[in-house]
A and B are shown apart, each in its own frame.
Chain A
Amino acid sequence: MRVDHISSFAAGSARSSSARGVSRRAFLQAGAAAGGGLLLSLRLPFANGEADAAGAPGFTPNAFIRIGSDGKIVLTMPYVEMGQGTYTSIPMLIAEELDVDLKQVELEHAPPNEKLYANPLLGVQATGNSNAVRAAWQPLRQAGATARTMLVAAAAKRWNVDAGSCRAQSGEVLHPPTGKRATYGELAADAARVPAPKNVALKRPQDFKLIGTPAKRLDTPAKVNGTAVYGIDARPPGVKIATLAQSPVFGGRVKRVDDTAAKAVKGVRQIVRLDDAVAVIADHMGAAKKGLAALKIEWDDGPHAKLTTDAIAGELEKATLGSGAVAQNIGDVDKAMASAVTKVEATYHLPFLAHATMEPMNCTVHVRKDGCEIWIGSQAVARVQAAAAKTAGLPLDKVVVHNHLIGGGFGRRLEADGAARAVQIAQHVDGPVKVVWTREEDIQHDMYRPHWFDRISAGLDAKGMPVAWNNRFAGSSVASRWASAWFKNGLDPDSTEGAIDLVYALPNMHVEYVRVEPPGIPTAFWRSVGPSHNVFVTESFIDELAAAAKQDPVAYRLALLDKNPRAKAVLALAAEKAGWGQPLPDRVGRGVSLQFVFATYMAQVAEVEVGKDDAVRVRRVVCAVDCGTVVNPDTVRAQIQSGIIFGITAALYGKITLKDGRVEQTNFDTYQILRMDQAPAIDVHIVQNFEPPGGMGEAGTSAIVPAVANAIFAAIGKRLRKMPVDATALKQPG
C-alpha cells in the first residue's frame, strides 16, 4: 500500500482576511480494499482556517471510497443527513470526477470514531456550521479524479495501450481506437496495484456534468411513505418506552416522589428516580405519559429558584459597560469618534431561543453488564458514544451507537445531554428502553441559543458616512463549552462571526466581546450560530446609520462596498429583483440586509406589512446569494427558503423566558412556529461563479431577522432593537 501526499488545496480561500494561516494539506492513500477492489482513504482538510484540533501526526483518514469488484462505489463519510441535502451533494462531488451517475454512488454512514471521522472544520465528528460541502469540495473531487486516473491506467496496462488514448465514461473505461471497454468493477482490483498518481487534473468547471445541476435528493422517497427511520422510530426487540420529568428549575433536585397512582396505570412497568429527574417506564408512550401525569413529585428548586430573564439581561447589559476581549481593532476609533460630526448610539437585545426540532429529543438505550447499545439521531455521534461511556462507566469501545435520520437538528443534536440522560435511566431498566421527551420537556430543557446584549456606537462624517464603529457585546460562549480549544484569550470564532470582518469599508473599528455565562441555563449552537446574533445587530445598526444620514439604506451600503465586489453584487441584485424604491401601500416597508458569513455572500430584501392592529406579516422575501460554486442548486434554494422561514419564526415569535427559574414556554402554543398561512413568497437568485463553495444551511436565517426589523422601520418608522417583534413595542415612539 502506498501513501501519496497531494498538496495544497486552496479550499476556503474565499474566507476573509481574518483566517489564520494554516497548512492546508490533504492526504490521500490508495490501495486494495478488503474483499477486493480499490480503496481510497483520505483526510478532509481544514477549510476555514481554524486550528487543527485533531493535531494527529501521520495519516489519519476520515473518509473512504471503495470501488468493489462488483462495480459498487461506496462512500463512507462522517456527515449526517438532517434535511440539508448532504447525502446528495457530497456524493455528487465524487460522481463528477469519477464520471459515474449519481445513483451509482452508495453512502455509508461513518461509525462513531472521533479520531477517524473528525469534521475537518469542527475538529470533532459532527455535522454543523454549514460546512459539509465546504470541507469536502476539493478533497473528494481529488479522490474521485485519482480513482478515475488509476482505473484508466489499469485498463491501459491490461490492453497494452497508451493511457492517454483511453477515457472514462459512465462507470467504464473505453479505448475508442479498438472499441475495447471494461467496467470499473472489472478494473478495480488491478487499479489497486497501479501507482497512485502524484498529481491529477480536476475537471474544469465548464466541463462539470453533475455539479451545478439540480439533482434529485437521494433520501426522500422513504420520507413520503412512512418508511424512513428516525431515532425516535428505533424499536429493538422488547423495547420499553419511557418519558420523564426533569427538575423544572435548572439545577434543582427531586425531594420526594409519590408514585402510587403512577404505578397503578395500566402499562406502566417501573418508576426510575434520579437525582434531578423521574422517569416512567411503560409498554407505550400513552401509558408512560399517563403515569407521569399521575406522579406526585416535590422538587428542591436549588440555587436558581428565583432566576428571571430580566436578571440575566441586566447582567449582560452591565457587562457591556466594562471592557471585554478585543475581537477586532482597525485604526483609532476613539480619535475618529472625537472628530465625528454625528454620533449614533444604540443597544440591542436578543433572547434565548429553543431549537424545537419537530422530532422531540429521544434516545434508546440498552445497558448490559459488559456494554451499552444506543439508537439515536445525532449530529455528533462520537459525542454520544463518549457521553454514554462516561455515564455508564464503560470503555468507549463497549458503547455501540446506531445513528439514524434526524428529524431536525439546527444544533440541538450536536449535544449529547439527552443520550447521557437516557443512559442514566436505562441503567435502572432490564432490557432496552426508549426515552422520549414530551414536547414540554423538550422546550423547557433545551440548551438554548444564548441571550445577547450589545452596546454599539458610530461616528459619522459631514456626509453621513461612518468613520468610527465601536461595538461591545456580552453573552454566553457556546464554543468554549463545546470545544474548549476554540476559546482563546477571551474569544471564540463563533461568538464573533458576523461582528468582525464586516463587508463594509470602516476605517476605524473596534469590537469587544465579554463572555458572560448565565447562571444555570445551558446554551448551545442554534441554526446560524454566532451570526444569528451579530448580523442582526450590525445590519440593524448600519440601517440606523443610513437613517441618521438621511440616505437610502441600499445606496448607503453600496457606497461602503467599493472594495468588496461580491458583496456589492449580491446587494445590487437583491435590490433590483425586489423592486427596491418602487412605491408600496401604507404601512408596508422594505428592509434590507447584507452579510458575509459561512463563507457565503447574501443579501435579502424583506417586504413587511404592519397591520393597523400591529400584526406583522412578512409578505415577500427576495434573496441574492453568492455561495461560490453551486453543487446542487435546488438544495441551495431549499436551504435558503428553509433558513428564511426559520428566521422569521425567531423574528416574530422566538423567545424563551424564565420566571422563578422556570422556562415559561411549554409547547407550540406558547413557543410559536411560523405556519403555512403566514409564510411569505421567497425568490432566490443565485450568482453564478466558480469560487470555492460557501455554506448554505444557515445563512438564510441570520440574514432575514435584520431585514424584517429594517422593513418594520421602513413601514412605520419604529426601530426594533429587541427581538422578537412585540406588538406593544410597535406602539411606542421611536
Chain B
Amino acid sequence: MAITIKINGADRTVDVDGDTPLLWVLRDVLGMTGTKFGCGMALCGACTVHVDGVATRSCITYVDSIGTSEITTIEAIGATPAGAKIQKAWLDREVVQCGYCQSGQIMSASALLATNQHPTDSDIDNAMSGNICRCGTYLRIREAIKQAAQSSGQGG
C-alpha cells in the first residue's frame, strides 16, 4: 500500500503495510538513520520524532496513522529555533557520551523548549523521563536544557 507522509517538509511515498511503525519507514525504507531503535515499546524514547511539533515515539506510531501531520526528525531539528538552541547547548555542555540515545533526547528537549521557554526542574523531569540514557548523561541534559532556555529568554 502506497502511503505518502510529510517528513522534514518533503512528501515521501512508501510502499509498506499501514501498521508498519514510522521508525522502520524512516530508518530502513528511507535511510534516515538518525532516529534510533531502542526498545520497540515506547519505553526508552530513542526513536522520538515530532509529529506536528509533539514529541512522539516513532516505534509505536503506525505509518497510516500520520495522515497529513508533519513529521520532523533529528536530521532537520536544527532548522527550528528550539532545536538549534538545544543542539548548541548539547555541544556547549558536552552532554554526549556514546550518543546513541541523544537523537531522542534532543527531540524531546526541543519539543519541550518550543512550548515552554522557561521549564522548571519538574517540567524537565516530565518531558525527559521517558528517554533513557544508559551512559547517564541526565545531569548534563538538565543543564543544557536550562542553558538553552536561558538563551531563549534573552531573545537569542
A residues with a Cβ closer than 8 A to B are: 82-85, 216-217, 219-221, 223-230, 232-233, 235, 241, 265-267, 283-287, 289-290, 356-360, 405-410, 436, 438-439, 634, 638, 641-646, 667-669, 673-677, 679, 681-682
A338 → chain B closest CB, angstroms: 46
| CB–CB B125/A676 < 8 A | yes
Asked if A284 and B94 make an inter-chain contact with CB atoms under 8 angstroms apart, the answer reads: no
B98 partner, pick from A83, A226, A284, A436, beta carbons under 8 A: A83
Task: State which of A286, A358, A405 has its C-beta within 8 Å of the C-beta of B132.
Answer: A358
Within 8 A of A (CB), among B11-44: 16-17, 19-21, 23-25, 27-29, 31-41, 43-44
List residues of chain A with CB within 8 A of the CB of B78: 225
Expressed in whole angstroms, the minimum distance between the Cβ of B139 and any Cβ of chain A is: 6
Contact call A645/B136, Cβ cutoff below 8 A: yes
Interface residues of B, dominant DSSP: loop
Q: Do the beta carbons of B38 and A241 come within 8 Å of each other?
A: no
Whether B91 and A675, one on each chain, are in contact in the complex, defined by CB atoms closer than 8 angstroms, is no
A–B complex contacts, Cβ < 8 Å, 23 sampled: A83-B135, A84-B97, A216-B94, A224-B91, A225-B78, A229-B33, A233-B33, A284-B29, A285-B37, A286-B23, A286-B28, A358-B38, A358-B44, A358-B133, A359-B100, A405-B99, A407-B36, A407-B99, A408-B100, A641-B137, A643-B136, A646-B136, A668-B38
A436 touches B41 (CB 8 A): no
For window 81-125 of chain B, which residues contact chain A by CB distance below 8 Å? 87, 90-91, 94, 96-103, 106, 124-125
Closest residue of B by beta carbon distance from A88: B94
**Contacts A217-B96, A284-B16, A406-B98; is A227 near B136 (CB within 8 Å)?**
no
Please measure, in the bound complex, the distance between the C-alpha atom of A393 and the C-alpha atom of B125, giving whole angstroms.
Answer: 52
B56 interface residue, CB < 8 Å from A?
Answer: no
Closest 5 CB pairs of A and B: A226-B34, A645-B136, A407-B100, A83-B98, A223-B99
Given contacts A221-B91, A405-B99, A677-B125, contact A642 B40 (CB under 8 A): no
Contact of B33 with A289 in the complex, beta carbons under 8 Å: no
Tally B residues with Cβ within 8 Å of A.
61
Contacts of B51 in A (CB 8 A): none
Chain A CB count within 10 A is highest, among B27, B29, B96, B126, for: B96
CA distance A679 to B134 in the complex (A): 12
With both chains docked as a complex, state the minimum distance between the C-beta of B140 and any C-beta of chain A, in angstroms.
7
Nearest-CB residue, chain B, relative to A406: B98
Contact flag A644-B136 (CB < 8 Å), given A221-B91, A667-B41: yes
Q: Which residue of B is nearest A410, CB measured? A: B134
Contacts of B5 in A (CB 8 A): none
What CA separation (Å) do A233 and B46 show in the bound complex? 14
Known: A230-B100, A405-B98. 8 other contacts (CB 8 A): A286-B24, A290-B19, A358-B132, A358-B135, A638-B94, A645-B136, A669-B43, A674-B138
Q: Determine how close the nearest CB of chain B comes to the CB of A170; give it in whole angstroms.
A: 24
Q: Which A residue sits closest to B31, measured CB to CB?
A: A235
Known contacts A83-B97, A230-B100, A359-B36; decide if A225 and B134 are in contact (CB<8 Å).
Answer: no
Q: Given A224-B106, A358-B132, A407-B98, is A290 in contact with B37 using a C-beta cutoff of 8 Å? A: no
